[in-house]
Structure 1
Amino acid sequence: MRKFVKIIIYYLLGTIAILALSVFPKYFRMRDLPEGEGYFSTLLSFLSKEFFQKEEWVYSLNGVDKKPILDVLWPAFIYSMEILFGAILLGCFVAFVLSILSFFLPKFLLQPIKRFLDLIESVPDIIIATLLQALVIFIFAQTGIEIFAVASYSEKAYAGPIITLAILPAISLFKILILMMEEEYLKVYVTFARSKGIRNFPILWKHILRNIIPVSFHHMKIIIWGLLSSQFIIERLFNVHGFTYFLVENFTPMTIAVSLLLIFTPFFILFQVVEIWIQEEQEKAREVKKDSWKQKMSFSNFLLSSKVFGINLRDGVRSFSWDKLSLIRPLTWMGKTFALHMKNWKFAIGSLFFIVVIGYSIIYSVTTDNHVDQMRLFYAEDGVTLISAMPFAPTEPFFFGSDRLGYSLFDQIVIGAKYTLFFALLIACFRVVVGLLLAVIYSFYLKQPAQQWVAKMVDSIHFMPLSLIAYILLSPILLPGFDGFSYSFWERVFLETMILTLLVVPLTTVLLGKEINRVSDYEFIASAKVMGGGKFQIFTRHILPHLGPRLTILFGQQFIQVLLIFMHLGIFDYFFGGTKLSMDPMFADPPQSSTYEWSGLIGQVGRGAIGSGQYWYLYILVPFIFAIFAMQLIVQGVKEVQQVKVGVIFKLPSFRKKKQSIQSKEVAPMITKESFTQIGRDANGNQAITPP
């Protein structure tokens, strides 16, 4: 009964968060108008006049026809869930089969497979969907065979969206299963079973899989969270009339609230039920751990409350002096750490990519004042013969082609690099730093019940698509109204940076807080506490060095996630810094980015460029792939440097290789009969050495 009450409370808290979120677009649009209200007034007005009024649950079609909102959204939601669960089942099946087939492969065959999957995983979902559509269109143009429908028109499209969405869970779950299988295979019970003559496959099927499936369930939350964000975009690319289509067509607080509740409710119930079942299955193991933990804590309290060598350790805890706080020390530490990691070629290449690209973009903007070449008509040398008109394909007059307005794609990529990469790095840094600061409070100052409550509340975020939430919050900020933008350029940049940061800070806080708790359970931390170490000293001198590699990995993951959000928003013409819209009703230009950042170019891919045969727009996707791959190199380099520190050596220095090769070439001395001397005694009894 207690667990059921907690579930109800968590669900109500998630519902309140959804309702509070649904009125943000209306509040931002109306705040500068004379009839505008405050945020809480807008929220209370929506709840009292719309949400709790049954007759207001309507969906407006084209602003004229009105239907019950569930009659419109429910079939669309079912269609979307059919695609989503089809992708989950297909991805899990492929991952399960491949993991079983690959587990017993030799290491020299398994490692290339893992590296290939890492490469595929770095390719964003938009690129996969675009390439898949281009491949189907190309095959149809060459052979007349339509593999599957690339978009929904009179009939619903299933194959394309399901295949595209299934790639992410298939790769992620395969890597997770392989890693857990390898760790489980090294445990004692597996060695005991092999000593009894049981073969490897029965051990894998009857024992290993049974132990790792409950653990893999927790990873499915992250996978489904990513799938929900990807589906928000895939439905747009494949023209699927799911809940995304109807949400965008009627962007009102009621539609937002009902759509998010339809997504949140089934996944919340499903994961809560499964989690309760897993907790009941593992209750005995938890009780054993709890008893050992109590004994450990009682022993620690005994040490802290007793006098060791005549000193009361509890009273001997040293306090932190703010006079010792200096900015030079962390900067020096960061410089030394960066220099150490630059010796790793993967980290060096990834870092140089960002330094060179951002630096070149800044130099280009300063020297040319953000000049972008434009040509609407391309004539021959005689100035009369028309060769082509915009958009231009590579290689003339522009080597990388142009957009629909005749602007050079390469110039736009160069100018927008500094905005895209710098602010993606900045947002990722804010997510990690703010999450780390709050994680310290979470770990050191919240008791265990409070930590569990916070973790459960934050866990609800996994059931709402991140890209959809960003779309809802940024709609009134990035799009201009009839009188232009409501905010200045730097205000739009600041608001978007803060919103994209705060959306993920709760997750990074709980994640890093749990990591701090895990490190705090180490024996050397208990020893530091016994010796009188304060919380600040223990965190900075002991815990933070262990978190360093984990923070870098988390930073890389957040950077890639920010780039994906930029791409997803770009499909809907939401560009970083604001979207310039043409108000000419007759000859309206396509939406453009005010900063030429890369998501503005992504929007052009989503406007039928591939379907019309303009394949050079795929060049726009290449910078995103390079940026993601460079960040993966940085993360991999940090992992290797950390593994070298703990004794796992990937590559010996050249002088050590040379020394080992010289030692191997030296011929060991041969021992023969002549190598010995005969020791005896003469006639007088004295010791005499006789040569051999």
Structure 2
Amino acid sequence: MRLIRLSTYYLLGMVSIFCVSIFPQYFSTRGTPESTGYFAQLFSFGKDLMIPESWVYKFERSQTGGAPMMEIMGPAFIYSMQILLGALLVGFSIALLLALGSAFLPKIVLSPIKRLLDVLESVPDLILATLLQVLSIMIFKSFGVDLFRVASFTEKAYFAPIVTLAILPLVSMFKILLLMIEEEFLKVYVTFVKSKGIDKFNILIRHILKNIMPLSFHHIKIIIWGTLSSQFIIERVFNVHGLTFYLLDNFKPITIFVTLGLIFTPFYFLFQLIDLWLKEDPPLSYETRRSSWWRKWRMGNMVEATKRFFENILYSLQSINIRKISPFRPLISALFTFCRHMKNWKFALGALFFIVTISYSIFYSVTTDNHVDQVRLYYSEDGVKLLSAMPHAPTKPFFFGSDKLGFSLFDQLVIGAKYTLIFALLIALLRVLGGLLFGVIYAFHLGPRTQQWIGKLIDSIHFLPLSLVAYILLAPILMPAFTGFGYEFTYTFTERILLEMFILTILVVPLTSVLLGKEIKRVLDYEFIASARVLGGSRFHLFWRHIFPHIGARLTILLGTQFIQVLLIFIHLGIFKFFFGGTKLDFDPMGADPPMSITHEWSGLIGELGRTTIASGRYWYLWILAAFMLAIFAMQLIIQGVKEVQQVKVGVLYKLPKAQNIKAKNTSELPSYQVTKDSFKVIGNEADRTLDPNVDKKVDRKIKPKFKRGFERGM
């Protein structure tokens, strides 16, 4: 049975890859006279896959018939996997050693290490690659040693891409292991083992490390998913001739299908086998299997089961009391929550960055009509002496320098801030809202068997690089196509923005749906939910009054993480000259300008970066990466602030209040404690009560009247 399920999930994954592979061809040919429908192109592509002669790789600039597909893609896949596995092995090994060594450090040393990990985790992979290239150039100029060689057709590069790619899994895994080891040391069995006289090293190796490995497996899948997207960029930066190179050189449906299939297959079977080894799927009870939607489907009652499923959703929608839903109530609640969080300095600092940056960008655009200063040649005051030519270095004529065409970098960063930050926040918000909507359906209307089936199916998305899939889907939308009379966009500016937002949202909604669905299920198991159900609360009442306030902080944290992920995708697409809203190309034969962003958003400046740019000494281009870093770091502060406010709310103090020195006004008023014969008495003895018959009256007089009246009323 497990083998059948394993094969079914794999086939469904390959079908999804098959459907995605045809999207670039469909979007690029849509609207042309020879275009056909999506399903017609999908059917034609399916027939071609059945013909062995169609599995041919054709080079873009070659006039020959091409070569067999696997003769080209096979070695490229092995080369890419060598880099990926080498980076994962190096990163995880160093992270494990550092985590084990950090367990013996005092807390005063661990605190700055955790803060450093938070900062490093917020640094994008492109920034790390750029900084390592800067370091390599400085070493080469000083000592003549080139550490990071760029690959070519004749020789392969391993050291530079492996070291750069290993930083992300190293930092993420080190942080996760450090937190899990700290939590494990607080458990009861560790205290029991310590009482037997076993030293800390043996406890760490024999017990703690063994217990945290199954839990760390879930984090490893997320880390590998992010590393796969990073490899897509690292191979481009270091000119690695792996899967990325050959995919971009021949961007055809067959090449896309083979590339995604080669990435999906080994990781899918590897993690499924580990799941079987760890026994992640507990057997369901007989009652659950008997009442499950899947059993009804197998018995031939698919129509009835589907009808009942939608009837339950319709009943839940009818139970919503529109009158009790005020449009102003969520806004007022959100405003009060925002004001309460602004008392936390981390949340306030991060929120003020977005408010000030977006406001200034809008104000600048309104007052200057998106004007960008340009100086091609900068002369002295006499107009004779040439001081600099484009690109201009800081500080003259522009304080932050200019790009290759002489446009001010600061003006472009200010104008593009509103597009980058607002649309990244909007896409992240749509991901969370979409995940919340489908998460409610997942938690309330699906049985355990169906939830397990959907969870396993969506878990397969972790084996496809998100940036690579986004590139495949957005390539024909953001880049102008040749129409016979020139290069023109297939879609309008508004359509390009809406399609990009939809694609970047829909790629992650299945993952956020399962994540939030499991979170809602966890809250549904609480005792106060059972009490609300006994009192007659509907599903909508349970969600709106109890579950939503309970997971509100979780939604905010998820919004922040999705915002950071959207910015990383913007950076990755910017490397390939795919800019938000479209890429402006210049085909002037007298001197074509480089690709530019129509909206001046920040990823449009990412294409300016490169090894040759840094090697030529144009270090002011790093302002572009600094803008992304500030935005990511500001969101990290917001996430940390929400966590701290939530910890205080549930009673977990993250910062102890400072002790205040209280001085007496007069030292003579301090009581003198001297031992006398009356110093030792038995409290509550009847003999003491007879010494003072009015003791009950004295105690009763100290009770506040309102509490006394309440107590008497309760009697």
Amino acid across the alignment from 1:561: Q
SS in 1 for 2:359: helix
1:223, distance to aligned residue in structure 2 (A): 0.4
User: Matched residues in 2 for 1:665 and 1:361: separation?
Assistant: 56
Q: Deviations over 1:314-343 (max 9, x none)?
A: xxxx95422222211111111110111011
Amino acid at match of 1:369: D
Q: Superposed, which structure 2 residues align to 1:33-182 within 5 Å?
A: 33-48=32-47, 50-61=48-59, 62-65=61-64, 66-152=66-152, 154-182=154-182
Bigger mean CA offset, 160-169 vs 528-537 = 528-537
* In structure 2, distance between residues paired with 1:664 and 1:265: 75
Q: Tell me by how many angstroms 1:544 deviates.
A: 1.3
Distance 2:550 2:167 in 1: 33
What is the one-letter code of the residue matched to 1:515? E
Whole-angstrom CA distance in 2 between matches of 1:186 and 1:677: 43
| Distance across 2 between alignment mates of 1:322 and 1:63 | 65
1:23 and 1:42 in contact (8 A); partners too? yes
3-state DSSP of counterpart to 1:388? strand
Find the aligned partners of 1:104 and 1:273 in 2 and give their Cα distance: 34
C-alpha distance in structure 2 between counterparts of 1:612 and 1:548, whole Å:
49
After superposition, the C-alpha distances for 1:353-384 in whole angstroms (9 at most, x for unaligned) are 00000000000000000000001111122212
Offset, 1:104: 2.3
* Alignment of 1:552 onto 2:551: no
Q: 1:672 to 1:374 in 2, by over 3 A?
A: same
Whether the 8 Å CA contact 1:436–1:512 is kept in 2: the answer is yes
- Measured in 1, the distance between the counterparts of 2:214 and 2:16 equals 29
C-alpha displacement at 1:670, in angstroms?
2.4
| Superposed CA offset, 1:76-120 (max 9, x none) | 111110000000000110110001000121111111101001111
1:669 Cα deviation from its structure 2 partner: 2.4
SS at match of 2:57: strand
Please give the alpha-carbon distance, in whole angstroms, between the structure 2 residues aligned to 1:526 and 1:605. Answer: 57
Q: 1:666 to 1:237 in 2, by over 3 A?
A: farther
Q: Is residue 374 of structure 2 the alignment partner of residue 370 of structure 1?
A: no
In structure 2, the residue matched to 1:616 is 620
List aligned pairs for 1:237-386, cutoff 5 A. 237-279=237-279, 320-386=320-386
Matched to 2:425, the amino acid is L
Partner of 1:307: none
What does 1:140-539 correspond to in 2, within 5 Å? 140-152=140-152, 154-279=154-279, 320-482=320-482, 483-539=487-543
SS of the counterpart of 1:500?
Answer: helix
Tell me the equivalent position of 1:29: 28
Partner of 2:6: 7
- Contact 1:571-1:606 at 8 Å conserved across structures: no
Q: Paired residue for 1:569?
A: 573
Aligned residues of 1:567 and 1:602 also touching (Cα < 8 A): yes
Instruction: Classify 1:290/1:348 alpha carbon distance in 2 versus 1 (closer, same or farther; 3 Å).
Output: farther
Separation (CA, whole Å) in 1 of partners of 2:558 and 2:675: 66
Contact 1:264 1:464 in 2 (8 A): yes
Letter in 2 for 1:418: K
1:152 is displaced (CA, Å) by 4.2
Within 2, Cα distance between the matches of 1:188 and 1:531?
38
CA pair 267-102 structure 1, distance change in 2 beyond 3 A: same
Q: 2:572 is aligned with what amino acid?
A: H
- Give secondary structure in 2 for the equivalent of 1:123: coil
AA aligned to 2:30 is R
Distance 1:677 1:134 in 2: 77
Does the 8 Å contact 2:133/2:611 carry over to 1? no
Aligned residue type for 1:20: C
Give the whole-Å Cα distance in 2 for the aligned partners of 1:663 and 1:455: 62
Cα deviation for residue 649 of structure 1 reads 2.9
Distance 1:386 1:522, change over 3 A: same
SS in 2 for 1:120: helix
Query: Which of 662, 668, 671 is the equivalent residue of 1:669?
Result: 671
Distance 1:607 1:147 in 2: 13
How much does 1:674 deviate?
Answer: 8.1
Change (3 A) 1:398 1:7: same
Structure 1: how far apart are the matches of 2:666 and 2:260? 73
8 A Cα contact 1:577 1:594, kept in partner: yes
Q: Is the 8 A contact 1:372 1:408 kept in 2?
A: yes
Give the distance between the partners of 2:636 and 2:610, measured in 1 at CA: 26
Q: Which 5+ residue runs of structure 2 have no aligned equivalent?
A: 290-317, 681-690, 693-715
The yes-or-no answer on 1:646 pairing with 2:644 is no
**Aligned-pair CA distance for 1:661:** 2.7
CA distance in 2, matches of 1:670, 1:239: 83
Q: 1:574 to 1:664 in 2, by over 3 A?
A: farther
Amino acid in structure 2 at the alignment position of 1:22: S
Q: Is the 8 A contact 1:122 1:625 kept in 2?
A: yes
Give the conservation status (yes or no) of the 8 Å contact 2:133–2:148.
Answer: no
Deviates more, 1:569-578 or 1:131-140: 131-140
Contact 2:374 2:407 in 1 (8 A): yes
Amino acid at match of 1:430: L
Q: Normalized against structure 2, the TM-score is what?
A: 0.87
Which residue pairs with 2:15 in the alignment?
16
1:339 aligned partner, one-letter code:
C
- One-letter identity of the residue aligned with 2:602: W
In structure 1, what is the equivalent of residue 307 of structure 2? none
SS class of match (2:496): helix
Residue 516 (structure 1) shift = 0.8
Instruction: State the AA in 1 paired with 2:370.
Output: N
User: Retained in 2: the 8 A contact 1:361–1:418?
Assistant: yes
| Separation in structure 2 between the aligned mates of residue 207 and residue 467 of structure 1, nearest angstrom | 39
How many residue pairs get aligned? The number is: 647
User: Which amino acid in structure 1 is aligned with residue 245 of structure 2?
Assistant: Y
Which stretch of structure 1 is more off in the superposition, 177-186 or 356-365? 177-186
Structure 1 position 491, deviation (Å): 1.1
Q: CA deviation at 1:207?
A: 1.1
Q: CA deviation at 1:269?
A: 0.7
Distance 1:524 1:152, change over 3 A: farther
Counterpart in the other structure of 2:544: 540
Pick closer, same or farther for the CA change 1:375–1:191 going to 2, 3 Å: same
SS of alignment partner, residue 610 of structure 1? helix
Distance 1:232 1:673 in 2: 80
Q: 1:471 to 1:676 in 2, by over 3 A?
A: same
What amino acid sits opposite 1:500 in the alignment? L
Kept in 2: contact 1:133–1:150 (CA 8 A): no
1:590 aligns with 2:594: yes
- For the residue of structure 1 that corresponds to 2:662, the secondary structure is helix
| Greater Cα offset, 564-573 or 583-592 | 583-592
Partner SS state of residue 405, structure 1: coil
Q: Secondary structure at the match of 2:110?
A: helix
The residue matched to 1:588 in structure 2 has which SS? coil
- Check the 8 A contact 2:288/2:449 in 1, yes or no: no
> TM-score if structure 1 supplies the norm length?
0.90
In structure 2, the CA distance between the partners of 1:666 and 1:171, relative to structure 1 (3 Å rule), is farther
Deviations 1:472-493 (A, max 9, x none): 0001110012341111111111
Residues 271 and 651 (structure 1 numbering): CA distance in 2 closer, same or farther, change over 3 Å? closer
Moved more, 440-449 or 198-207: 198-207
